[in-house]
Structure 1
Amino acid sequence: MNHIQKLLFITALLTSSVAFGQITEDPDDRRGQGKDPLRTQTPEGRPLPFGQRLRFGGGITGFRFGNPFSLGVSPVIAYQASERMIVGVGGSYTYTRYKPGYIYPTQGVTINQYGARGFVMYEFIPSILANLYLHGELQTNTYQQKVDQVVAAYTGTIAAPFLGLTYMQPISRRFGVNITALYNLNYKANDPISYQVYGGSPFLLRLSFF
């Protein structure tokens, strides 16, 4: 594993460690009263300060060993806008390396992918199934492909809206484990950048922590 791969692996572990570091009990927790903690208010009904509504976390994406080797990180900052709505922004970086012989007979290929996203999550049926959210998201991704021994690099940028669902398993008021299933509304199977960035499918599955 070269230095870049080691650095990315350490960064991914640190991202997860920061996320898990938020698993703490809230001082105003209502569980002693047999109720779940409020997300935007204290038990006395006072609005929580801005900082106490923030969630920090992220996840590891595109993790593959072998040929190709791939590893990505995706930090997230989210805000509990109301008891049922979360809004947030996130970034992503994915490194992928194909050894010679996988794409070209004698040349390897390196792909760097940078992304940003904004999202809204709304808990729409809490009385039937709590912690299930409608999830809307807008992503933009820049894709750079570099072939060994070739000076020029191929670069493209693509943006797409996603729509789907997220199920959150709360661990504390400000932290949870999230499973997200989204559909790319702008996916184009015949577009090479769309194929490379989104892995040849309009569906996106994600595991994240915030």
Structure 2
Amino acid sequence: MNYLQKLLFITLLLSSTIAFGQLTEDPDDRRDQGKDPLRTQTPEGRPLPFGQRLRFGGGINGFRFGNPFSLGVSPVIAYQATERMLVGIGGNYTYTRYKPGLLYANQGVTINQYGFRGFLMYEFIPSILPNLYLHGELQTNTYQQKIDQVAGAYTGTIAAPLVGITYMQPISRRFGVNLTALYNLNYKPNDPISYQVYGGTPFVLRLSFF
């Protein structure tokens, strides 16, 4: 291929790329028109590819300071199923430490939790309060409880359905800051395992980014 043929090929390639870009305008370009970006389609009505509907992120959860001390992390993958609905999966790890005297007189307790969750978020009143989602999820936790000065550890699994709301502050079409408040329908205040794993409260507050 001589120099002229190479130049012609590159020109055609660039022209095709520019034409394709104009044909499939990025939904974020709607901001220039004073409109919110579309989440599942281009402004011309074409469905966005699967990869452009995915959101990746994570956050922190279970944060409590004092007695007990607790802190967790939770990576997330979410998919924009419709303009108003997100579905996703995530994992989580939470560390909880009870100082001596709260559960046992002279012994502290350490709990490590590893979990998985599937969730669904639905923007239910976008015309009145946009970016407010009903939030439902099913969470399972495998936990390991270790009591100070006691050999061995107790391990088990507990599952919980959670319901509540999430408010998302969009940063871009595929990323936002989310504040979530959920209620644990499986919380049992008189069950010591439920009490220890969920920190003595049926409410779950979570800050996440995706």
Determine the C-alpha separation between the residues in 2 that align with 1:196 and 1:189.
10
- Residue 93 (structure 1) aligns with: 93
TM-score between the two structures when normalised by the length of structure 2: 0.80
- Residue 12 (structure 1) aligns with: none
Determine the C-alpha separation between the residues in 1 that align with 2:63 and 2:160.
22
* Equivalence map 1:13-162=2 (5 Å): 27-29=26-28, 30-64=30-64, 68-98=68-98, 103-104=103-104, 107-162=107-162
- Unaligned 5+ segments in structure 2 are 1-24
Determine the C-alpha separation between the residues in 1 that align with 2:94 and 2:205.
16
1:144 CA displacement: 1.0
1:101 CA displacement: 5.9
1:118 CA displacement: 0.5
Determine the C-alpha separation between the residues in 1 that align with 2:64 and 2:185.
26
The number of residue pairs the alignment matches comes to 185
Q: 1:156·1:193 contact (CA, 8 Å) conserved in 2?
A: no
Q: 2:27·2:41 contact (CA, 8 Å) conserved in 1?
A: no
Determine the C-alpha separation between the residues in 1 that align with 2:192 and 2:115.
17
Determine the C-alpha separation between the residues in 1 that align with 2:125 and 2:100.
51
Residues 88-145 of structure 1: per-residue CA shift (max 9 Å, x gap): 0111101233455665565443211111110001111111111111111111111211
1:63 CA displacement: 3.8
> Percent of counterpart pairs with the same letter?
86
TM-score between the two structures when normalised by the length of structure 1: 0.80
Larger radius of gyration: 2
- Residue 181 (structure 1) aligns with: 181
1:151 CA displacement: 2.1
Distance 1:199 1:103, change over 3 A: closer
Q: 2:77·2:88 contact (CA, 8 Å) conserved in 1?
A: yes
Computed over aligned residues only, the root mean square deviation of the Cα atoms, in angstroms, reads 2.0
Determine the C-alpha separation between the residues in 1 that align with 2:118 and 2:156.
20
